[in-house]
Amino acid sequence: MEKIGLLVDSTTMTRHDLEEYPFIKQVQLKVHVDDEHFDEKDIAQEDMLRYLKEGRKLLTSQPSPAEFLNAFKEFHKEGYTHVITIVLSHKISGTYQSALIGKSMIDFDIIVDVHSPNSASFGVALGVKQVAETIAHGNSYDKVTGKYHNIFKNPTVVFTLGDLMNLFRGGRLSRVQALLGKILRVKPVIEMIDGKLELVKKERTNVACMEFFLNKIEQYTAKYKKVYLDIINIDMLEWGTKLLEEVKTKFAKIDIHLTDYLSPVFYTHLGDKGFGIAIVAE
């Protein structure tokens, strides 16, 4: 009989309801604060925000292949026959490669698939929730993997930030792009395109950014029968609330989740202020 487990990386754990599934395990990305090294799970949100405010030297790194192998071993010991591994985009992290190497080291009887959708963090969490529900309802491994491919066929993550310099320091944007946003005081719109973070627009106001997000949602509702939306609000409660109210007014049938937390790795690269959306659909 099939027993299906789900393995994610720690940047995906942005919503508490994922912790309720006993078949979900996670591997930890790392945050290096000056000369100290932490697993993401060991850094409290308030401490991470303090590190950012203090201007501490922050670096991140992916889990090792051995950590993935150990997770697969734990699943095997608990009687799991199959494991679906879903990690953030391989174009912004080496986590996917570590997972593949860890899988290649398996010398016991278990079926493992490793996936890296064109999404990250709360965007991955949004789709993982749907995959987890499919497992929880007792579906076969084939149906669960089919759900993964369907739900992550065309994901999007798009947001605006208070400061682009964190993206530059993390190598996600060029110095020119980052300085342009800072000097001109524009509202940058960042979108994940083909698994990479791209600066796609430069707006003058948060209202214009919100309109961009709403247009993106409308495109999905016109194309798909079921749309799942996560509204992300990082210390921009006013705009997160306005976006939520607009969505509820204009789009009656969308499944909505609210997130006000980023993992420490993404705080490192994105900073502590922003709002936006993630979408998966089927």
Q: Write out pLDDT tens, residues 129-153.
A: 999 999 999 999 999 999 999 999 9
pLDDT per residue as tens digits for the range 196-233:
988 888 888 999 999 999 999 999 999 999 999 999 99
Angstrom CA distances, 184 to 20, 128, 191, stand at 45, 38, 20
Domain co-membership, 134 together with 178: no
For residue 175, pLDDT beyond 60: no
Domain co-membership, 25 together with 130: yes
Domain co-membership, 121 together with 204: no
For residue 174, pLDDT beyond 80: no
What residues contact residue 166 under an 8 Å CB cut-off, 6+ apart?
268, 269, 270, 271
What residues contact residue 185 under an 8 Å CB cut-off, 6+ apart?
none
Residue 227 is predicted with a pLDDT of 97
CATH number where 83 lies:
3.40.50.10170
Integer Cα distance of 4 and 79 in angstroms = 9
Per the structure, the complete domain to which residue 143 belongs is given by: 4-151
φ and ψ at residue 161, rounded to 5 degrees: -125, 155
Domain co-membership, 98 together with 202: no
Domain boundary among 151, 169, 188: 151
Domain co-membership, 120 together with 205: no
Domain boundary among 122, 151, 180: 151
For residue 277, pLDDT beyond 90: yes
What is the total count of domains within the chain?
A: 2
Domain co-membership, 137 together with 67: yes
Partners of 233 in the β-ladder: 275
pLDDT per residue as tens digits for the range 88-132:
999 999 999 999 999 999 999 999 999 999 999 999 999 999 999
For residue 179, pLDDT beyond 70: no
pTM for the whole thing?
0.92
Which has more pLDDT, 271 or 226? 226
Domain co-membership, 62 together with 75: yes
Partners of 228 in the β-ladder: 255, 280
φ and ψ at residue 234, rounded to 5 degrees: -115, 100
Average pLDDT over residues 25-50: 94
For residue 170, pLDDT beyond 80: no
Integer Cα distance of 62 and 143 in angstroms = 30
Share of the chain above pLDDT 70, in %: 92
Domain co-membership, 78 together with 145: yes
What residues contact residue 232 under an 8 Å CB cut-off, 6+ apart?
122, 159, 240, 259, 260, 262, 274, 275, 276, 277, 278
* Long-range contacts from 135-140, C-beta under 8 angstroms, 24+ separation: 135/4, 135/6, 135/21, 135/23, 136/21, 136/23, 140/2
Residue 111 is predicted with a pLDDT of 98
Domain co-membership, 141 together with 177: no
Domain co-membership, 202 together with 136: no
Domain boundary among 151, 186, 217: 151
Domain co-membership, 169 together with 110: no
**Are 223 and 281 within 8 A, CB to CB?**
yes
CATH number where 174 lies:
3.30.1180.10
